[in-house]
């Protein structure tokens, strides 16, 4: 019930200014984000790999309205890929990219428009990822970007078929998108969806979102692609496991994904039962939007959050 108000509040400039004064070392921030630098992210990856987990890394940043900033983000990914390769981690770690962080939201007046810039920037990251021996997954953002993101995905997959997609079960359109993307070699991350969306495009009731998630799971697990089941929901994990055996899926022909810092014991439990488990590691200076979405999902953490704001620790 608190999810929508928190997401709405998070758009306020004053709130952003206040929350952004928290040091990254503050408990509430570090519980979701290992740090601001590439080396903290690489160290966190190495730690997870030691525990038998895989990783996907996200250099935080979104809604860039500045071409230079988009370029800085691309360079951050190139540096990250280089450091992952140098650390011998690319067999276990890939990268997740938000197109809005690499130019998708730039106006048409800038060098061919945001869509084209984001595509070219994504291509650069995909090439570097392939050279480093790993892959890219395109995160999915709010519904106004879905068409553009899927169009970029289609273009990228012509040269880089290994590029992963993300679909959000809360959107009415997603079951059909799952059908379209359940083909051989197609890596698809299914999540519930983290943005505040209108009822014209998205289910509003949690139960309806869960039902949609299960319908989408069925399509993906029965299909020919590689489903990436991104949820912390114990019910969804259980349902996914039984659907995987119902559809004759061997372990390793799909994977579970969870966010850094959320249900770490469950991540290890699944991995020790033979499942492939990938942890999404966000890092960088721009942790605000990410943190607010996580708080909106877990209002139980609000008091912890408010205490951090007051004590600034």
Sign of CA dihedral 261, 263, 269, 272: negative
Which alpha helices (DSSP H) does 223-300 contain, by range? Answer: 234-246, 264-272, 288-297
Does residue 258 interact with ligand FAD by CB under 6 A?
yes
Does residue 298 interact with ligand FAD by CB under 6 A?
yes
Q: Catalytic pick from 189, 210, 278, 294?
A: 189
223 in Cβ contact with 182 (< 8 Å):
yes
Nearer to ligand FAD, 154 or 235 (CB): 235
Whole-number Å distance between alpha carbons of 111 and 107 = 9
- Residue choice 89, 166, 182, 271 for contact with ligand FAD (CB under 6 A): 166
Secondary structure of 207-265 as H, E, C letters = HHHHHHHHHHHHHHHHCCCEEEEECCCHHHHHHHHHHHHHCCCCCCCCEEEEECCCCHH
Provide the minimum distance between the beta carbon of 144 and ligand FAD in the complex, in angstroms, as a whole number: 13
Does residue 295 interact with ligand FAD by CB under 6 A?
no
Helices vs. strands in the chain: H and E counts, helices first:
13, 8
Nearer to ligand FAD, 17 or 256 (CB): 256
Q: Which two tokens stand for residue 209?
A: 């979102």
Strand order through the sheet with 277-283: 136-138, 93-97, 54-59, 277-283, 255-259, 226-230, 187-191, 165-168
DSSP class of 162: T
Burial 62-85 (b: 16+ CB within 10 A, else e): bebeebeebbebbebbbebbebbb
Whole-number Å distance between alpha carbons of 216 and 211 = 9
Whole-number Å distance between alpha carbons of 75 and 124 = 10
Site string for ligand FAD, 178-197 (x = CB under 6 A): -----------x-xxxxx--
Stretch near ligand FAD under the rule CB under 6 A, chosen from 33-41, 46-54, 120-128, 224-232: 224-232
- Span 61-80, contacts to ligand FAD by CB under 6 A: none
Provide the minimum distance between the beta carbon of 145 and ligand FAD in the complex, in angstroms, as a whole number: 10
Provide the minimum distance between the beta carbon of 96 and ligand FAD in the complex, in angstroms, as a whole number: 7
Nearer to ligand FAD, 154 or 206 (CB): 206
- Residue choice 15, 78, 262, 309 for contact with ligand FAD (CB under 6 A): 262
Catalytic residue list contains 189: yes
Provide the minimum distance between the beta carbon of 90 and ligand FAD in the complex, in angstroms, as a whole number: 18
Catalytic residue list contains 233: no
Provide the minimum distance between the beta carbon of 111 and ligand FAD in the complex, in angstroms, as a whole number: 26
Smallest CA-to-CA distance from 58 within 257, 248, 308 is with 257
Stretch near ligand FAD under the rule CB under 6 A, chosen from 5-13, 119-127, 145-153, 251-259: 251-259
Nearer to ligand FAD, 132 or 281 (CB): 281
DSSP class of 249: P
Nearer to ligand FAD, 157 or 278 (CB): 278
Q: Which two tokens stand for residue 260?
A: 């850094």
- Span 229-248, contacts to ligand FAD by CB under 6 A: 230-234
Q: Which residues bind ligand FAD (CB under 6 A)?
A: 139-140, 166, 168, 189, 191-195, 230-234, 257-259, 262-263, 280, 297-298
- The residues that are catalytic are 139, 189
């Amino acid at each position: 019930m608190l999810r929508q108000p928190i997401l709405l509040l998070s758009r306020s400039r004053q709130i952003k200014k206040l929350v952004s004064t928290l040091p990254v070392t503050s408990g509430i921030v570090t519980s979701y984000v290992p740090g601001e630098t590439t080396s903290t992210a690489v160290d966190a990856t190495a730690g997870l790999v030691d525990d038998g987990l895989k990783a996907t890394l996200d250099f935080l940043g979104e809604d860039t309205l500045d071409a230079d900033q988009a370029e800085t983000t691309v360079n951050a990914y190139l540096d990250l890929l280089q450091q992952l390769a140098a650390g011998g981690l690319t067999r276990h770690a890939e990268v997740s990219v938000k197109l809005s962080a690499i130019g998708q939201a730039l106006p048409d007046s800038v060098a061919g428009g945001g869509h084209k810039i984001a595509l070219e920037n994504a291509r650069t990251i995909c090439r570097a990822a392939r050279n480093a021996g790993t892959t890219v997954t395109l995160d999915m953002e709010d519904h106004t970007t879905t068409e553009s993101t899927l169009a970029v995905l289609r273009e990228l997959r012509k040269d880089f078929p290994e590029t992963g997609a993300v679909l959000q079960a809360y959107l009415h359109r997603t079951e059909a998108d799952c059908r379209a993307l359940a083909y051989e070699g197609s890596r698809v991350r299914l999540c519930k969806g983290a943005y505040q969306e209108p009822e014209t495009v998205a289910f509003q009731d949690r139960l309806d979102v869960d039902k949609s998630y299960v319908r989408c799971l069925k399509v993906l697990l029965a299909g020919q692609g590689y489903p990436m089941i991104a949820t912390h929901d114990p019910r969804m994990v259980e349902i996914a496991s039984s659907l995987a055996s119902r559809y004759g899926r061997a372990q390793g022909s799909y994977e579970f994904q969870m966010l850094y810092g959320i249900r770490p014991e469950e991540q290890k439990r699944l991995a020790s039962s033979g499942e492939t488990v990938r942890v999404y590691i966000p890092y960088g200076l721009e942790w605000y939007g990410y943190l607010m979405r996580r708080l909106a999902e877990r209002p139980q953490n609000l008091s912890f959050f408010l205490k951090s704001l007051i004590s600034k620790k």
